[in-house]
């Protein structure tokens, strides 16, 4: 009565399947750029670095620690160290109070990431 024979699909069923497929595809398409947009400065710099151990999971873990321990401005400053390690040395050796305060936060971040993200 209301059933179609095995192996055949009526127009309503076909439209429903198409709708669900399109909705699923739209959700996936919309979620991918959003996930990339949420990558923080540390994760982005880590992934772009030429370090062999850099992986999406490790860099993501390091970013999570950065989110817990560093302000946004600190994260952006620390991210620059991936591309310019000499800048890290300059900040570490600086006599300015603001650099010393940053370095204390940065060391805490590094120590925490080493424990939290250990394989």
Q: Name the band, by pLDDT with cuts 50, 70 and 90, for residue 19.
A: low
Q: Which parts of the chain fold into alpha helices (H)?
A: 11-37, 41-48, 56-69, 72-83, 85-93, 97-116
SS3 label, residue 77: helix
Note the pLDDT tens digit of each residue in 34-49: 444 578 999 999 999 8
Q: Name the band, by pLDDT with cuts 50, 70 and 90, for residue 54.
A: confident
Note the pLDDT tens digit of each residue in 63-108: 999 999 999 999 999 999 999 999 999 999 999 999 999 999 999 9
**Which pTM was predicted?**
0.66
């Amino acid at each position: 009565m209301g059933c179609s024979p095995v192996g055949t699909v009526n127009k309503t069923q076909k439209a429903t399947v198409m709708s669900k497929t399109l909705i699923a595809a739209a959700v996936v398409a919309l979620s991918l750029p959003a996930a990339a947009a949420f990558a923080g400065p540390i994760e982005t710099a880590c992934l772009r670095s030429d370090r062999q151990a850099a992986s999406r999971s490790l860099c993501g873990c390091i970013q999570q620690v950065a989110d817990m321990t560093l302000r946004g401005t600190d994260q952006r400053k620390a991210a620059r160290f991936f591309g310019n390690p000499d800048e890290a040395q300059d900040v570490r050796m600086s006599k300015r109070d603001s650099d010393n305060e940053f370095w204390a936060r940065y060391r805490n971040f590094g120590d925490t990431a080493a424990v939290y993200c250990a394989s």
